[in-house]
Amino acid sequence: MTGAARRWRIAAPILAGAAALLAMALSRAWAQAPAAPPALVSAPAPAADEELYRRALESKAEARGRGDEARVRKAGGDLLRRLAAEHPASARVDDAALLLIEDGFCLTDAGYPECVGFAIKGYEAFLRAYPYSDRRSRVLRQLVERYLELSSRYEQERPWNSPERAELCRGRALEIAERLAANPELADSAWARATAARIRNSGKPFSIVPGGGPRR
């Protein structure tokens, strides 16, 4: 065996071992290397419930632009009902329910008390179904205003004149206004406080039936 062959025979195992160590080091380095930055992606699409609500509002806005209130009431109704049916846990369910309730109110009432009473029932049903809705303050204010309107109609010299009902409706308005005023975190509490004071100082009689108003 020549001297060169002898030297290669000795060096070959050493080189093989060094190559193995290098491969192991590279393998560990690749495993510890940070991942490549993710590719840029577009913003996520809006949630399905938000999309349905947005489309419903757009339909109403388009109908309102045409000056047709009857069409506004109908616009988006299918989308709102679909939102409620397909996404019952959505934060938009109470918004959709309130829109549907208000869409069902009388388009014209010709001064009769029945249409105001129908709106009151709708708002009270909403509060029973969604007692913690962020629309609560607005709905309570609507109830106060509707009860005062109903009281005023029962005072008119019309076939439905009823001083007793006028007194009861005024009392219900006062009860709800004071309940709203007692919750300063609600947006309309200051308005409710002023309205309650106006009712009490009006000189007109009012009767409050215990447990008669919508409760939380």
Q: What is the pLDDT of residues 102-120, one digit of tens each?
A: 999 998 888 889 999 999 9
Intra-chain end-to-end CA distance of the chain, in Å: 102
Tell whether the model's pLDDT for residue 210 goes beyond 80: no
Q: What is the pLDDT of residue 166?
A: 95
Residues 6+ apart with CB under 8 A from 81: 96, 100
Domain boundaries, the chain: 47-104, 108-216
Tell me the pLDDT band of 89, cut-offs 50, 70 and 90: very high
Q: What is the DSSP letter of 203?
A: -
* Selection from 165, 47, 61, 160 nearest residue 110 by Cα: 160
Q: What pTM was estimated for this model as a whole?
A: 0.74
Q: Give the CA radius of gyration of the chain.
A: 35
